[in-house]
Structure 1
């Protein structure tokens, strides 16, 4: 399954899955929120509307389509189509409005999701260093979307510091600065993965398909999250395991 997945619970609780009527087209792997204005119950979340977001009541993850599932090659999962006419309701299998399986989220839920540059299948920035430093505190890469001071991460994927993560304390489009140095000197040609997410208390936003964490948002608007694990090792397979802040959830706020 592409997109977000339920990865456990801090309390050891089992997943709670409910069948819900959609209020917009929904895809497996999307985060879903309450929809109070349409005919159904849930719809995909939206990009953060403030810092922090105060508008989304996130209910859970779409983990299955009950009614007439249709595979979508862009979203890499099944689609549930929102229908509002009798003819389409009769044509559905089973008959009636489109239903999805939703795995409910609480503040202790663990969510695993890909880290992508805006859309599924687009890997985060992975850039070669053009200017290094002997003290391991700065390095320069070709222009990227600006990093966010104290809320971005640099991971060395090639070079003497391979496997090391550091929080970027001064963000920019080219020169990246850390407060805790990389263990060894940074050399020209070393490669770094750079994302606007960090382990621990984080500000995050989601890709346009709402199936991934966006790797390079400006974070002027964001969701609160606690990132338990950030893994940037393999290109195209970057992921994070996180819990959402209770203020964004319909359950447990």
Structure 2
């Protein structure tokens, strides 16, 4: 089969477009895409500004063929670009006993070809092609996007998982008791003034043992008796004051 360099560049671009869609979904909390109503999602993805940052260079390198296949691929690119390439294998794919170039020279050649490919990918990337990819492929990858979002938030974010907002207070209390949330959250959600008042009432020497000590030592008791918020209030506090975002079918994430 004749080598088609432009097709190879397009294949790399398609991988980048797919990654960019995943990245946009994560950054903008786009989850639970519905295939029966997919046009709004297409328009949403197309509304974002998209560019290729330096991190894409490693992504491109990782997407290139490896080992022997990578060698012949770069040879084809070299021929397409009218560049020199080292002789490491014969035409049948057998490794030569003695190559035409040193290992260091071969590494430099690979790096040079990689840079040529990266340059061409960057120059070929444009908004119109990205939008075309969205229109033609979102129906085929939406399930991967939905799964990717759930996996991302489960592994990279602080997640408060719940199926109904009416469960939120009990979920938070349970996470605090299991040390799944830092004690600082308890300090925010428990009315420490009332804890202190009760300690004064029982003549606790506050210079030796204060409300923060009691909160840590009797966390369950303080959560049950002095919790400040109902479910709706707690949801608003987490979103407005603690930078959490609500993600459908997941809960609150940060």
- Which bracket does the TM-score occupy, shorter chain normalised? under 0.3
Structure with greater proportional helix content: 2
**TM-score, normalized by length of structure 2?**
0.26
Structure richer in strand, relative to its length: 1
Q: Structure 1 length as normaliser, TM-score?
A: 0.26
Q: Which has the larger radius of gyration?
A: 2
